[in-house]
Amino acid sequence: MTAAGARISYLSDLTPPSLERTWLTAPHPTLPIVATCSADKTVRIYSLTNFKLLSTISGGHKRSVRTCAWKPLVKGESVLATGSFDATVGIWRRWDSYGREEGGSQAWAIDDSKPNGEENHDDEGRGSLRPEDDHDAEDEEEWRFAVLLDGHDSEVKSVSWSPSGILLATCARDKSIWIWEDLDDGDNNFETVAVLQEHTGDVKCVSWHPTEECLASGSYDDTIRIWREDIDDWGQVACLKGHGGTVWYIDWEGADNAPSTSPSLTADEAAAVKDRWKEHHALSGPRLISCSDDRTVRVWRRKPKQQSSSAGTGMPSIIRPVGLDETWYEEAVLPAAHDLSIYAVTWSKRTGLVASAGADGKIVVYEERFVSADDNLSNEGDKMDVEPAVENQTDGHTPPSLRTEWVILATIDAAHGIYEVNHISWAKRADRKRHESSSAGEEEILVTTADDGSVKVWTVDR
């Protein structure tokens, strides 16, 4: 059973699809486009306004492109990092606007009814720094293969840019995580900052904290590890154990997220509850969510450190504390919904909803809600309409009025027919058929990729 009135609805396919397995879809941070990685060695760029193909990035990798990520905070152009089973990472660039419209929407043809068609690149310049092409009208419409990052010994599984866009993290089957710095010197130079090798198995995913230079990774060794820099040396500050199988994917909570409040509250009352919740958890920061081969989705929270103070003065100490180790605890295991491995989980930065997908072909959407002793009594009947809720664990200091629970909001089976769903992500809705309402600008869609090469777009109706 699911929450009354909530459902996942099919909206469209992205066309044309790949003829081989699609691994992952990455929404652009500002433009209404997505990049989709495929086993056919290409990355396809699709419009989210008409769901058609805009361009195809090819020629940079010799094997399946497993992962990609858009660099944030870039103006005037789009920068995409790609990771491949050929053990390399590619950096690609394309001008968003070339004298026609600021912001690049016209340059991307996202308002046109027809896609631009495919653009091809050869392997020339692989393994070396390649100068930027002259910015004439013809070249500026194409993707430019800027540089190849070569360091991993085997298949690259995940890439992630830091919030500032300065650092790029990559991980691979060789059990290592590499951190690269984009020197932003105009020559596409990258410098190796660190090579992290504490994982004892294939590293499946890396993801940067939304506001801090803090990196999380998930692995075949069933653990999640948290990494930070101490002066000039990167190191592990926490190892999260709880999953009973490979950690396939991780994602961070949005920095401004808060759980859903009861519809019976006024707008002011709801805002006050959310503000109290944010204030209570301000020192711990955004949470981390993970999914695994053990068929569970888990939420992790950092325990705030006690602030040190000068002896007897009560004043904060300016002396750096010894050791950077952090304590993380498992706050919740979301309600069971999947029958097989869960390959991907995504936490909406706009609504706080969580979605998961995996080998069983299901899409599941979860919601976190405030719950209190009074709510337990007054809403007993309402809870009959939802999957069993899982109440969050706390650090022992959370007031009852701020405690939350997770419920399954909606599910859909066989999202891609008989095929496994490899990835799921939230994206801002941009198609012309979106509902005309005051909140239309904040509507979201889900994008899923599967073994049959298809990429599907879904809406969540509440």
Residue 111 placed within a domain: no
pLDDT for the residue 256: 92
Tell me the C-alpha distance between 415 and 366, whole Å.
17
Placement of tokens 């992790």 in the chain = 300
Backbone angles phi, psi at 242, to 5 degrees: 175, -35
pLDDT of residue 387: 53
How confident is the model at residue 390, as a pLDDT?
Answer: 67
Q: Does a structural domain hold residue 107? A: no
pLDDT at position 401 is 82
Return the closest-CA partner of residue 113 out of 51, 30, 31: 51
Q: Strand, helix or coil at 270?
A: helix
Q: Helix, strand, or coil here: 280?
A: helix
The pTM is what? 0.86
Which range marks the domain in which residue 404 is found?
A: 7-97+141-305+323-371+399-461
Single-letter amino acid code for the residue at 431: D
Measured in degrees and rounded to the nearest 5, phi and psi for residue 110 equal: -75, -10
| In-domain check, residue 135 | no
How far is Cα 290 from Cα 240, in angstroms, rounded to an integer?
11
Task: Give the domain CATH number at 273.
Answer: 2.130.10.10
What pLDDT is stored for residue 450 in this prediction? 98
For residue 134, what pLDDT is reported?
Answer: 38
What is the pLDDT at residue 324? Answer: 79
Decide if 239 is inside a domain.
Answer: yes
Tens of pLDDT along the chain (462 residues)? 345 568 999 999 999 999 999 999 999 999 999 999 999 999 999 999 999 999 999 998 999 999 999 999 999 999 999 999 999 999 999 998 644 444 445 666 555 444 333 333 333 232 322 333 333 334 445 899 999 999 999 999 999 999 999 999 999 999 999 999 999 888 899 999 999 999 999 999 999 999 999 999 999 999 999 999 988 899 999 999 999 999 999 999 999 999 999 888 899 999 999 999 999 999 999 999 999 999 999 999 999 976 533 344 444 434 444 467 999 999 999 999 999 999 999 999 999 999 999 999 999 999 999 986 554 434 444 443 445 566 676 665 778 888 999 999 999 999 999 999 999 999 999 986 664 544 445 699 999 999 999 999 999 998
DSSP 441: G
What type of residue is 122? D
Residue 372 contacts residue 401 (beta carbons within 8 Å): yes
Q: What is the total count of domains within the chain? A: 1
Q: Is residue 28 part of a domain?
A: yes
Q: Please report whether residue 128 resides in a domain.
A: no
* Residue 145 bridge partners (DSSP): 92
Tell whether 365 is covered by a domain.
Answer: yes
Where helices occur in 347-432 by DSSP H, the ranges are 373-378
Assess if residue 41 is contained within a domain. yes
